[in-house]
Amino acid sequence: MAEAVQKPKRAARPSADATRTRILEAAEKLFADRGFHGVTVREIAREADVDPALANYHFGSKEQLFSSALLARAEEFMAEREAALTACIADADGTPTLESVIVAYTHPYLEHAQSGDPGWRSWFKLLAKANTSPEWAPEVFRDRFDPFVRKFIEAMKLAAPGAPDERYYWCYHFFSGALVLTFAETGRMDRLSDGKCRSGDLASGYDLLVPFFAEGFESILSGRRPPLGGGA
Amino acid sequence: MAEAVQKPKRAARPSADATRTRILEAAEKLFADRGFHGVTVREIAREADVDPALANYHFGSKEQLFSSALLARAEEFMAEREAALTACIADADGTPTLESVIVAYTHPYLEHAQSGDPGWRSWFKLLAKANTSPEWAPEVFRDRFDPFVRKFIEAMKLAAPGAPDERYYWCYHFFSGALVLTFAETGRMDRLSDGKCRSGDLASGYDLLVPFFAEGFESILSGRRPPLGGGA
DNA sequence: TCTTTTATTCAACGATGAATGAAAAAACGC
DNA sequence: GCGTTTTTTCATTCATCGTTGAATAAAAGA
């Protein structure tokens, strides 16, 4: 268990919390850029301008440091999104539109990306890397992310009931792949479009992403567009 | 430059090519599972059952070995897809449907995943990891993947002309995020659905993915569903 | 103030990383 | 077969990894 928060039975020395924060921020940034194995504890310490031994002192191990970095913003992020989702359902008396559910799920990404705190953009990159390397912090996915995703899928069922169960999961899967990649800002689009399109222009991406996936979800879940049937 | 194929001015010793192949296969598998920095050259050599020095002898460096592993199947894969795309356009006299373009782009994934050669499934995982860590082999993306993606986007313009340029890029971006994640088989869906849905059932995923994205593309590119406009 | 707890520094530990160069072995052209 | 080239082995290069323990400093409790 990552000791992200030391038990404060006695008041912590003022600079200790600051040290932990500095290490976490450095870890977030470097892990986001180069992944778990691409970064050394010493690099993180250098970036945070602290002694290398402090990373282990405060977080126990490199693995726990990674988990702590991923977890740090996950709590806040998931709580916000869950509140948005609950409100979205309540506002619609239990029958929200697909688009409103997608907005509730997605809008916190945009908000934080534009919040002025660059740490959020790093964290989204970290999330993208962890998404294709779940072995780095499986417990964070299991305990923090998965439960919220299940609520999202329940909301999708409220918005578009009656489809076969597997379709909700596959549709979510497509959606999450696109969403996570979009907010990872890999810069690929910039190159492909010769600069006409910028990965960092997340507002434009968001404005297109929401209707794009609302339509995709609806066509599949309503059965308006049937599965191909030729894949077997 | 990765010497994926040694210049055969003299016939190579039979076992030399076999050694290279064994190293490449081991590298493909291990890099796919744990990423570039998560694997050591010694592990690859052990998996391939060869001396560790041979990896450097045949490929020059760990980085070139990674590039070679990513490149190995890329040539064949991209050529097939390009042929499919060209045929799809020609068959429709220059005005293909969105769905047919998506099928041409995507179907080779499914074919190889079901080909019985498990190396392809590893390679798709490798692709997914490289997709969020393009710094591992930037030249492969630039030289092999990007040109084909540009052709795909041109085909989308034939199928649904007249939309603002950026929309094609963003739509492709969403699509590629979902596609790559789907064929990476992370197993996340299995867990989320309590086993009701299997990541490895790529035929089912493909059958839903094609209509899902055909509809998403169409709604955005035709302007039937306008961008949100609230993201700024 | 004195004791206890918490935080930080510093110097190491053993293990392992990628890569290399020289020597040995195997296949080749002739 | 013989000389040449290609491939393989082996020992070793230097650098660095994550982590630890002892010593020191700073804060907090009494």
* pLDDT tens column, A30-40: 999 999 999 99
Amino acid at A24: L
B216 vs A173, A197, A213: nearest CB = A213
Q: Is the pLDDT of residue B3 over 70?
A: no
Least confident range from A136-145, B2-11, B91-100, B134-143: namely: B2-11
Distance B10 CA to C30 C1' (A): 14
pLDDT at A230: 60
pLDDT at B14: 56
Q: Is the pLDDT of residue B91 over 90?
A: yes
Strand C CB-contacts below 7 Å: A 6, 9-10, 12-13, 15-16, 18-19, 50-54, 57-58; B 10-11, 13-15, 39-43, 52-53, 56-57, 61-63
Domain extents for chain B?
71-221
Q: Is the pLDDT of residue B231 over 60?
A: no
Distance A113 CA to D23 C1' (A): 45
| Cβ separation B186–A128 shorter than 8 A | no
Three-state SS at A182: helix
Of all residues in chain B, the one with the smallest CA distance to A213 is B216
pLDDT at A17: 87
pLDDT at B1: 37
pLDDT at A182: 97
- Say which CATH topology domain B71-221 has: Tetracycline Repressor; domain 2 (1.10.357)
pLDDT at B230: 60
C-alpha triplet B173, B177, B182: angle, nearest 5°: 150
Q: Which two tokens stand for residue A52?
A: 């290398």
pLDDT at B6: 34
In this predicted model, what pLDDT tens digit does every residue of B129-155 receive, in sequence order? 999 999 999 999 999 999 999 999 999
Q: Domain spanning A72-221: which superfamily?
A: Tetracycline Repressor, domain 2 (1.10.357.10)
pTM of the model: 0.91
Of all residues in chain B, the one with the smallest CA distance to A99 is B228
Spans in chain A with pLDDT lower than 50: 1-12, 231-232
pLDDT at B16: 75
* Burial class of B97 by CB neighbour count within 10 A (0 to 12, 13 to 18, 19+): middle
